[in-house]
A and B are shown apart, each in its own frame.
Chain A
Amino acid sequence: EAEVAQSPRYKITEKSQAVAFWCDPISGHATLYWYRQILGQGPELLVQFQDESVVDDSQLPKDRFSAERLKGVDSTLKIQPAELGDSAMYLCASSHTRRPYEQYFGPGTRLTVT
């Protein structure tokens, strides 16, 4: 069964350092999402791509976060500089264009900022 791949699974970094996360969606899924999940809360959408284009990044803190999906397949989310409040689980999801409500999630990257 096809799955969304994410790496790394865990990342510990110091405050003010740069960190990057990678996501490979299910083959054929044109829509890709990055979510942030703070412990004890539900996922919050950071950015949504349709192919290589950003559809929604209204909740992305653009002063320190960036996301790209250059070839419309895999994607990278970067934080620079990291802050203590960025400690969270970062989830990637993908969906077929015709069924955007059926999102398939990767295992996530748990980020700890010290």
Chain B
Amino acid sequence: GDSVTQMEGPVTLSEEAFLTINCTYTATGYPSLFWYVQYPGEGLQLLLKATKADDKGSNKGFEATYRKETTSFHLEKGSVQVSDSAVYFCALWGYQKVTFGTGTKLQVIP
């Protein structure tokens, strides 16, 4: 079945540092890929998406590129802020349902 593997956290960065959170997937066919963010005490919010190979999703300074050859969808941000502290989930849409990774907690310190 479909699966998503994320790098384990927590990831601790200083403000303005560069962020990369790795995500790889296993799926049959051509899934759509997503990053969701969950702030403390809140539900998940869709951060960005990419629906086909080589697509780049972007939002709020975050980017991720759909790499079919490496089955990856790594999340990046050039300069993180304290307000980016949250849990980030990589997910894929395949066979009419979403499969989530286990989440990576990001903590940004001033």
User: Which of A4, A41, A45 is the one whose CB lies under 8 Å from B98?
Assistant: A45
- By the criterion CB–CB under 8 Å, are B97 and A102 in contact? no
* Interface flag for A81 (CB, 8 Å): no
Chain A residues touching B, majority SS: loop
Q: Is the CB of B97 within 8 A of A105?
A: no
* Residue in chain B with minimal CB distance to A38: B102
Q: Does A106 contact B (CB under 8 A)?
A: yes
Chain B residues contacting A44 (CB-CB under 8 Å) are 100
B97→A107 contact, CB < 8 A: no
Interface size class of B (residues with CB under 8 A): 20 to 34
CB-defined interface of A22-53 with B at 8 Å, one 1/0 digit per residue?
A: 00000000000000000011111100100000
Binding site for B on A (CB under 8 A): 4, 6, 40-45, 48, 55-56, 91, 93, 100-108
25 A-B pairs with CB atoms under 8 Å apart are A6-B43, A40-B102, A41-B103, A42-B4, A42-B89, A42-B101, A42-B102, A42-B103, A44-B100, A45-B97, A48-B97, A55-B96, A56-B97, A91-B43, A93-B43, A93-B44, A101-B98, A102-B49, A103-B46, A103-B98, A104-B46, A106-B43, A107-B41, A107-B42, A107-B43
